[in-house]
Amino acid sequence: MYGLKQDWIPEPQARQFVLEDYESGVPRWCSGCGDFAVLQSLRKLARDEQLLPEKTVVVSGIGCSSRLPHYVKTYGFHGLHGRPLPVASGIRARRPDLHVFVVTGDGDCCAIGTGHWIHAVHYNMKMTVMLLDNSIYGLTKKQTSPTTGKGYSSNTHPDGAMLSALNPLTVTLGITNASFVAQTVDWNPAHLYATLLEAHRHPGLAFVRIIQRCPHFTPDAHEHFQRDPSNVLLLTHPDGIPADDVVLRVFKNRDELDPTDRAAALEHAAREDVLPIGLFLRNPEAERYDLCSAVGLGMSAEKKLAAAQAAVDRFLI
């Protein structure tokens, strides 16, 4: 086009992304590992929401689950054991234009990273946090995790875990500013996907605990839920996780839970006779630290310069 620079020309057509656009590398998880399902759901979500790959960041800690960013063709940050949440918060702080996903494990989040977990939920910065909870340390080869059930044998507790499992849901529900708390299972792709989608669309930090199978180290841990879905309690509500027919057909054991009723949520989350899945809490109005941290974004160099100079001049002799 005469008179116009090449790069001025708008894109001839809008970019369209297919699943392959979010695929990268060959996952190195054991066959049957629940992490595959989460990866698949995340890619599908990115495709369905047409997330710009360059505007998407997947942050993780260290663990089997934390390898996930390597398999998504977006930006990724595979950092330190236990520390993905501060990193994700720092990314979010000054970049409201990015989609931030966090992948963390039960050791990563509920042991070494516990402090950050509490505070990230309190900050309530917009991001989707996926806790891939296999109730065991996978990468380091079967040590007890905080979510390992009492009596379950591991390499660090061959005679069985000595204490009852810590419940990540009741902990999260108890944190000031918790704004989205859900639970799902890796073996029901429809529910998993629906949960992640709601989480992604939530204006704040969405905390999703995904019960994840580790066939390599704990092949028996989730069997009774899979074999007999009546051990799972599906939480339903018009404002909850939408359940399609496939989901409804599998999970017959249901209860309605209003996601604005925190007391009821805590009660359900604490249940040990069944595994409750669905949405426990949704509060789009909760305070958000990322709205505070973004102040002054995009300020002009002139203004910054003037402010710095004025600050210096307060010390003039």
Ligand X SMILES: Cc1ncc(C[n+]2csc(CCOP(=O)(O)OP(=O)(O)O)c2C)c(N)n1
Site residues for ligand SF4 per CB under 6 A: 29-30, 33, 35, 64, 134, 138, 214-217
Shortest gap between Cβ of 62 and ligand X (angstroms)? 4
Bridge partners, residue 183, by sequence:
209, 278
DSSP secondary structure string for all residues of 169-190: HHHHHTSTT--EEEEEETT-HH
Annotate each residue in 34-73 with x if it binds another protein (CB under 8 A) or - if it does not, as one string: ------------------xxxx-xxx---------xx--x
Euclidean distance between CA atoms 151 and 250, whole angstroms: 29
> If binding is defined by CB under 6 A, does position 106 make contact with ligand X?
yes
Rounded Cα distance, 51 and 259, in Å: 27
- Residue 216 touches which member of ligand SF4, ligand X, another protein, none, C-beta under 5-8 Å by kind: ligand SF4
- Cβ 72 vs Cβ 43: under 8 Å: yes
The binder of 311, among Mg ion, another protein, ligand SF4, none, by C-beta within 5 to 8 A per type, is another protein
105 touching Mg ion, by CB under 5 A? yes
State yes or no: residue 222 binds ligand X (CB under 6 A): no
d(CA 250, CA 247): 5
Q: Interaction with another protein in 244-263: which residues (CB under 8 A)?
A: none
The correct pick among 80, 266, 274, 291 for binding another protein (CB under 8 A) is 80
Q: Select the residue interacting with ligand X from 108, 186, 198, 290 (CB under 6 A).
A: 108
Name residues whose C-beta falls within 8 Å of residue 193's C-beta, 6 or more positions apart in sequence.
41, 44, 45
Q: Is the dihedral of CA 113, 209, 196, 240 positive or negative?
A: negative
Q: Which residue has the tokens 């905080």?
A: 146
Question: Which residues contact another protein by CB under 8 A?
Answer: 24-25, 52-55, 57-59, 69-70, 73-80, 83, 85-95, 97-98, 115-116, 118-119, 292-299, 301, 303-305, 307-313, 315-317
